[in-house]
Chain A
Amino acid sequence: MSAHHAPSSVEASSATGKVRGKVGVRVVGRPDSLEQRVYLPEVIRGLGVTAKHFFANLFSRKYTVTVQYPEEKVKYPDRNRGLHRLMLRDDGQVRCVACMLCPTVCPAHCITIVPEETGNQNEKRPRIFEIDELRCVVCGLCVEACPCDAIRMDSGVHAPAVDFRGDAIQTKIDMLKRGTQSVATQGGVGSDWRSKQPSVKQYDPPK
């Protein structure tokens, strides 16, 4: 159907395509076989492809990739950062010692902690621990910063849609409900923990 002429400035090589110059432009010529210029056989071939997909999807959903979201869910990857959760000690108390590292590192200033006395001279605990999920940028720095494995983002739940902004604030109770006992040693294991790890095979990048 289209006119059969090559662009004047570029030397067209229609059949194979030619790599020219530094950037490697592949010059594709105009279709020159009669079959392609008549257009109709190619149209029918194209219709065949779409019809094949149509019938395969109609009868068996062979190629269909749609996930029907609220009913079907794809499992998030293991390292997905979801809604925050607060971890528990062996006795079910909150692991957090209100050291204020996470609100300090948080780039979005979305964490609010008000500490209180525990009776133990060495520790504090959070009286209020709130995260505004509308402000949170889901960077995960709070988890990185926490020395106690008290805050995690591995809940696999993403932040819910809310009707009022206040509802997006996760309270301590909310986050403790998602919490489980952590097996990490409270207060850390000392700076030489890396040398105590069982030896792991080093990553060997392919040459």
Chain B
Amino acid sequence: MTDSILMFLAEHTAVAALLKLLLLVLGFVMPLASLSTWAERRQSAMMQDRLGPNRANIGPVKLWGILHFVADAIKMMFKEDVVPAKVDRFLFALAPVMAIAPVLITFAVVPFGPDLCVGQVLSVVTDPTTCKATIPLQVARMDVGMLFYFALASLAVYGTTLAGWASYNKWSLLGGLRASSQMMSYEVCMGLSLMGAFLVYGSLEPNAIVTAQGSNILNWGIFTQPLAFVLFFTAAIAETKRAPFDLPEGEPELIGYFVEYSGMRFGIFFLAEFIETIFLAAIVTTVFLGGWQVPGLDSSGFGSFHLPHLAVVLLQVVAWSLKILFLCWLQLLIRWTLPRFRPDQLMRLGWKQLLPLSLLNIIITAAVVLWRSGGK
């Protein structure tokens, strides 16, 4: 029964892709994004010696205040949706969609587990390449994977810029302009800093990068490309537009590009920001933290300790989730620790420090790769 369902999915890739998309987006990304809205307030409180929101409850069920995100969602949905008189109505409605759609679509290229060997789920699989039928635990496997990600990530800037432009408000326009200049500046550095990793692992396809990193922790991106890790992480945090790079929002002076938005439209911008942090965590995990790899766990188990295929896959999916959770936590930690940059400091950091360093990283990596391959 299970085998026949899996076989069906392995043959009908479109159905499988749809199912995986639902599983990934509705089962992991959206719940995690909603939880982050609570975790952000709770974690910042813990860091600042407070308690944070812990009171939302359904009857006696309190769950440390996790239900606050339910309360928030209900509030957002029932709030009045104010549309100012002079806005460009079409672009005003389009902007939140443009902000959230690219970040959700890019999850398609993220591998959240290894290939599932259909028909051998309960037996030990020593060499996954010998499987007759496989279900890749990745929605879309394409050779341009990372380029697809960069292409869509640069689309996300339209959401913020359009929101600023369409709102017919000076402050949102300033926020939108800041967002576009900041995101364009840091995209350059993001792309260039990943170039070193592409050279080392020889592929642009995320799952191939993860497979190339293997279960040896010293072969993971963070050890082979430490400089690129720092550069990419910094640039990508700037790309999410959160503190210490939250100039587009600029709470003390601008309120941001979404100042005219209310209700669920604002909620979508808010959610998009959190999904971006999760996506950033996913990309950093894929390229630098070995994706779904568990240290020491091969496809047959830990060394001579054999495990059934299903257990291995489950362990790897759990490892992937834990890495993402850790990076989300780390981003919240950074967001609530570091003070904000000034616009000129932001531009100087992006163009004068991160960009030359990422170019230097490419040159050094290329030289080392060439030397190790024997100059061929």
Q: Please report which residues of chain A, range 16-50, place their CB below 8 angstroms from some CB of chain B when the two chains form the complex.
A: 40, 43, 46-47, 49-50
Q: Are B353 and A57 in contact (CB under 8 A)?
A: no
Q: Are A47 and B49 in contact (CB under 8 A)?
A: no
A58 to B50, CA, bound (A): 10
Q: How far is the CB of A134 from chain B (nearest CB, A)?
A: 28
Residue A53 lies at the interface, judged by CB distance under 8 Å to chain B: yes
A43 contacts across to B, CB distance below 8 A: 337-338
Residue A54 lies at the interface, judged by CB distance under 8 Å to chain B: yes
A2 contacts across to B, CB distance below 8 A: 345
A40 to B50, CA, bound (A): 27
Which partner residue on chain A sits nearest B348 by CB separation? A1
Q: Are B46 and A47 in contact (CB under 8 A)?
A: no
Instruction: Assess A50 versus B337: contact at CB under 8 Å? Given A2-B345, A64-B49.
Output: yes
Q: Are A64 and B51 in contact (CB under 8 A)?
A: yes
Residue B230 lies at the interface, judged by CB distance under 8 Å to chain A: yes
Q: How far is the CB of B329 from chain A (nearest CB, A)?
A: 9
A65 to B337, CA, bound (A): 19
A66 contacts across to B, CB distance below 8 A: 49-51
Residue A68 lies at the interface, judged by CB distance under 8 Å to chain B: yes
Residue A63 lies at the interface, judged by CB distance under 8 Å to chain B: yes
* B residues contacting the other copy or chain, number (CB 8 A): 17
Interface of A (DSSP majority class): helix
Q: Are A47 and B50 in contact (CB under 8 A)?
A: no
Q: Please report which residues of chain B, range 317-357, place their CB below 8 angstroms from some CB of chain A when the two chains form the complex.
A: 333-334, 336-338, 345, 348-349, 353
Residue B293 lies at the interface, judged by CB distance under 8 Å to chain A: no
Residue B43 lies at the interface, judged by CB distance under 8 Å to chain A: yes
A40 to B233, CA, bound (A): 12
Residue B74 lies at the interface, judged by CB distance under 8 Å to chain A: no
Q: Are B51 and A47 in contact (CB under 8 A)?
A: no
Which partner residue on chain B sits nearest A2 by CB separation? B345
Q: Which of B50, B51, B333, B338 contacts A51 (CB 8 A)?
A: B333
Q: Are A54 and B47 in contact (CB under 8 A)?
A: yes
Q: How far is the CB of B229 from chain A (nearest CB, A)?
A: 12
Q: How far is the CB of B220 from chain A (nearest CB, A)?
A: 20
Q: Are B345 and A57 in contact (CB under 8 A)?
A: no
A43 to B339, CA, bound (A): 10
A126 to B203, CA, bound (A): 93
Q: Which of A1, A51, A53, A68 contacts B49 (CB 8 A)?
A: A53
Q: How far is the CB of A152 from chain B (nearest CB, A)?
A: 35
A40 contacts across to B, CB distance below 8 A: 230
Q: Are B337 and A47 in contact (CB under 8 A)?
A: yes
A54 contacts across to B, CB distance below 8 A: 43, 46-47, 333
Q: Please report which residues of chain B, range 33-51, place their CB below 8 angstroms from some CB of chain A when the two chains form the complex.
A: 43, 46-51
- Name the residue among B47, B333, B337, B345 with the largest chain A CB count within 10 angstroms: B47
Q: Are B51 and A68 in contact (CB under 8 A)?
A: yes
Q: How far is the CB of A148 from chain B (nearest CB, A)?
A: 46
A4 to B47, CA, bound (A): 32
Q: Are B50 and A64 in contact (CB under 8 A)?
A: yes
Q: Which of A1, A50, A68 contacts B47 (CB 8 A)?
A: A50
A46 to B46, CA, bound (A): 15
Q: How large is the interface on A (under 10, 10 to 19, 20 to 34, 35 or more residues)?
A: 10 to 19
Q: Are A47 and B349 in contact (CB under 8 A)?
A: no
A58 to B333, CA, bound (A): 14
A47 contacts across to B, CB distance below 8 A: 333-334, 337
A1 contacts across to B, CB distance below 8 A: 345, 348-349, 353
Q: Are A57 and B337 in contact (CB under 8 A)?
A: no
A63 to B50, CA, bound (A): 8
Cβ proximity bits A160-181 to B, threshold 8 Å, 1 near / 0 not = 0000000000000000000000
A21 to B47, CA, bound (A): 40
- Name the residue among B43, B49, B334, B345 with the largest chain A CB count within 10 angstroms: B49
Which partner residue on chain B sits nearest A40 by CB separation? B230
Q: Are B46 and A53 in contact (CB under 8 A)?
A: yes
Q: Are B349 and A50 in contact (CB under 8 A)?
A: no
A68 contacts across to B, CB distance below 8 A: 51
Q: How far is the CB of A62 from chain B (nearest CB, A)?
A: 9
Q: Are A50 and B50 in contact (CB under 8 A)?
A: no
Q: Are A57 and B46 in contact (CB under 8 A)?
A: yes
A50 to B243, CA, bound (A): 15
A68 to B50, CA, bound (A): 11
A65 contacts across to B, CB distance below 8 A: 49-50
A61 to B269, CA, bound (A): 33
Q: Are A57 and B333 in contact (CB under 8 A)?
A: no
Q: How far is the CB of B357 from chain A (nearest CB, A)?
A: 11
B353 contacts across to A, CB distance below 8 A: 1
- Name the residue among A43, A50, A51, A64 with the largest chain B CB count within 10 angstroms: A50
A46 contacts across to B, CB distance below 8 A: 337-338
Q: How far is the CB of B28 from chain A (nearest CB, A)?
A: 23
Q: List 7 A-B contacts (CB under 8 A).
A: A46-B337, A47-B333, A53-B48, A53-B49, A54-B46, A64-B49, A66-B50
Interface residues of B (CB under 8 A from A): 43, 46-51, 230, 333-334, 336-338, 345, 348-349, 353
- Nearest 5 interchain pairs by C-beta: A66-B51, A63-B49, A57-B46, A50-B47, A50-B337
